[in-house]
Amino acid sequence: MENKITLEELESLIDNKKVKEIRELFESTDIIDIAEVCDDIEDISKLLFIFKTVKSEYTAELFTYLDENQQQNLINLFSDKQLRELINNSYTDDIVDFLEDMPANLVKRVLSASDKDARNDINKLLNYKEDTAGSIMTTEYVELINTLDVKDALARIKKIGKDAETISTTFVIDNKRNLVGVLYLDDLVLADDDEKIADIMNEDFKSANVYQDQEDVAQIFKRYDITVLPVLNNENRLVGVITVDDIIDVIEEETNEDIAIQAGMQPLEDEYLKTGVFSMAKKRVTWLLLLMISATFTSIIISKFEHALQAVAVLSAFIPMFMDTGGNSGGQTTSLITRGLATREVTTHDYGKVIWKEFRVALVTATLVSICNFLWILFELSVGLVKNTPVDGMPSVPNWQVAALVATTLFITIVIAKLLGASLPMLAQKIKLDPALMSGPIVTTIVDATSLVVYFLLCTYVFFPALFS
């Protein structure tokens, strides 16, 4: 049975110098579970005791799971020897992951404590643009020359495999380091010793370019159901591999980013509870100010048609209803299309198909909603839930006409909202922007202004022109 430990229990072991028990804990418990407890240790010296006590193969993994603040505190306390051991027992991509968010002085210290080869690998990965395949790949993998036989290939895997992030898939290169195939461990183990790996390798493989966007890489993993992907440079030479654990992090990161943008704020760089109040407010206020300014267009439109509200006062009672419905309609479509673009269910090449489909959906939806809306508003006006009281000096308008005006406006608003909700994310994708930018708040703001214009134009020129002649 898997062991669980609380913060109090772990600190008790440390305080009482229970070295044997601490080591047994690391052998019997998932490292990530221990890391969650270690994140809550306030006295960094206690955490340092663990790193001095437990085998480096365990503490290196523990370090990668720790909170960023804990990592920084530990690096400040580590000796050069401890840092070197940490680096030697960690995968390069994991080192790069925590270095990316570290202050420059700590990055410099880590690099100074690294040996030449490790330092070169780390610097190489750090120089790749963020969110590219190069920034998330690891250089610790097993490569085999295509001239080897099975016996020699197995010997090489045994020799260097323990330092690789995965050996289930090895990569076959020629003498120019061009990737020519992949070799799965089960095929290798089951082959005869004297067989050439060139004869048993799989030449039909997927790969990513080192500069390819990480979202595209995630799609390759999803589409082809793979666990490891080779990364090539522009000369088709193997420079690294990406494993599925890194892709899971990418998917989570991109999902969180899209959710934040669709909610009308900048994505958080840290966990919710670990993000400061002012930092969180800063992430939100920019979007709120932008949307506030854009929403002033609705105020301008209302002021331009103030005469319509003065002539038919009851019109103002229904403005929130069709504006909200329009925003909700656009938001539904935007969410679907944004998700479709993210999962590659649709592309910008499908623009015509998407618009035609959403137009038909909009007609059906708008028809049903507007009919129900007409009947409901007619009921509200008839029983007095909403008063249709004539303005002094102005003739009364029939309830059915008011209901028809609102229902017609709602019909047109829903159709426009659905088309905008489908068009804007695809337009964003076309011009190399994040489709999530064209999120609910943006669509809602545009639809609000459009629906008001439609409402007042129908009122002035179609339903009640006599009142304004």
Query: Residue 111's closest CA among 72, 84, 71?
Result: 84
Query: Residue 442's closest CA among 455, 426, 424?
Result: 424
Residues 339, 446, single domain; the answer is: yes
Last residue of a domain, one of 95, 127, 159: 127
Residues 242, 296, single domain; the answer is: no
* Domain CATH code at residue 61: 1.25.60.10
Residue 68 lies in a domain: yes
More confident residue, 4 or 406: 406
Reported as a single tens digit per residue, the pLDDT across 78-117 is 888 888 888 888 888 788 887 877 777 788 888 888 888 7
CA 5 and chain centroid, separation: 32
Q: Which amino acid is at 129?
A: K
pLDDT at 246: 87
Percent of the chain's residues with pLDDT above 70: 89
Residues 21, 90, single domain; the answer is: yes
Q: How far apart are CA 431 and CA 346, in angstroms?
A: 16
Query: Residue 154's closest CA among 191, 122, 129?
Result: 191
pLDDT at 1: 40
Task: Identify whether the C-beta of residue 113 lies closer than 8 Å to the C-beta of residue 87.
Answer: yes
Residues 310, 446, single domain; the answer is: yes
Query: CA–CA distance from 328 to each of 120, 245, 334 (Å)?
Result: 52, 36, 10
More confident residue, 174 or 311: 174
Residue 268 lies in a domain: no
Residue 431 lies in a domain: yes
- Overall number of domains in the chain: 3
Residues 245, 287, single domain; the answer is: no
Q: What is the mean pLDDT of the chain?
A: 84
Residue 170 lies in a domain: yes
Task: Identify whether the C-beta of residue 50 lies closer than 8 Å to the C-beta of residue 14.
Answer: yes
Task: Identify whether the C-beta of residue 38 lies closer than 8 Å to the C-beta of residue 66.
Answer: yes
Range 140-152 average pLDDT: 91
Task: Identify whether the C-beta of residue 106 lies closer than 8 Å to the C-beta of residue 86.
Answer: no
Task: Identify whether the C-beta of residue 421 lies closer than 8 Å to the C-beta of residue 429.
Answer: no
Query: Residue 245's closest CA among 154, 340, 168, 162?
Result: 168
Residue 266 lies in a domain: no
- pLDDT at 2 > cutoff 60: no
- pTM, rounded to two decimals: 0.60
Residue 132 lies in a domain: no
R_g over Cα of the chain = 31
Residues 290, 251, single domain; the answer is: no
Residue 98 lies in a domain: yes
Range 51-72 average pLDDT: 87
More confident residue, 284 or 87: 87
As a residue count, the chain comes to 469
Last residue of a domain, one of 231, 259, 287: 259
Range 213-218 average pLDDT: 88
Residues 360, 422, single domain; the answer is: yes
Residue 135 lies in a domain: no
SS (H, E, C) the chain: CCCCCCHHHHHHHHHCCCHHHHHHHHHHCCHHHHHHHHCCCCCHHHHHHHHHHCCHHHHHHHHHHCCHHHHHHHHHHCCHHHHHHHHHCCCHHHHHHHHCCCCHHHHHHHHHHCCHHHHHHHHHHHCCCCCEHHHHCECCCCEEECCCEHHHHHHHHHHHHHHCCCCCEEEEECCCCEEEEEEEHHHHHHCCCCCEHHHHCECCCCCEECCCEHHHHHHHHHHHCCCEEEEECCCCEEEEEEEHHHHHHHHHHHHHHHHHHHCCCCCCCCCHHHCCHHHHHHHHHHHHHHHHHHHHHHHHHHHHCHHHHHHCHHHHHHHHHHHHHHHHHHHHHHHHHHHHHHCCCCCHHHHHHHHHHHHHHHHHHHHHHHHHHHHHHHHHHHHCCCCCCCCCCCCCCCHHHHHHHHHHHHHHHHHHHHHHHHHHHHHHHHCCCCHHHCCHHHHHHHHHHHHHHHHHHHHHHHHCHHHHC
- pLDDT at 317 > cutoff 90: no
Residues 191, 248, single domain; the answer is: yes
Range 426-453 average pLDDT: 78
pLDDT at 144: 92
Residues 428, 325, single domain; the answer is: yes
* Domain CATH code at residue 386: 1.10.357.20
* Domain CATH code at residue 178: 3.10.580.10
User: What is the residue range of 197's domain?
Assistant: 143-259
pLDDT at 465: 83
Residues 285, 426, single domain; the answer is: yes
Residues 249, 392, single domain; the answer is: no
Residues 430, 459, single domain; the answer is: yes
Last residue of a domain, one of 98, 127, 156: 127
The token pair at 133 is 């395949």
Q: How far apart are CA 359 and CA 414, in angstroms?
A: 10
